[in-house]
Amino acid sequence: MATLNELRCEIDTRMHQGESFSSIEDDVIDTSDMSDDQKSALWLYGWSFVALRDQRREARAHLARLTGHRGGRVSNDEARL
């Protein structure tokens, strides 16, 4: 069983090698024996490698799914997200 630090190093290496965050999430984080808090920390660490613009796009898409928003104009509050 890998330690939290070993998994962090694996994420670091794989992200620097150009692997997608989703593959890291599937292959490293989700399959680990870490606690939910540790997995959350690893997820956040891996997510920090994703370009800010891509992070924002994903966050907006997720919020839109949760609120049922289907495109078109967004409010000023949504635009600031």
Q: What DSSP string runs through the chain? A: ---HHHHHHHHHHHHHTT--HHHHIIIIITTS---HHHHHHHHHHHHTTS-HHHHHHHHHHHHHHHHT--SS---HHHHT-
- The confidence score (pLDDT) of residue 19 equals 96
pTM: 0.75
> Is the Cβ–Cβ distance between 41 and 11 less than 8 Å?
no
pLDDT at residue 1 above 90? no
pLDDT tens per residue, range 2-58: 999 999 999 999 999 999 999 999 999 999 999 999 999 999 999 999 999 999 999
Mean pLDDT of 55-76: 79
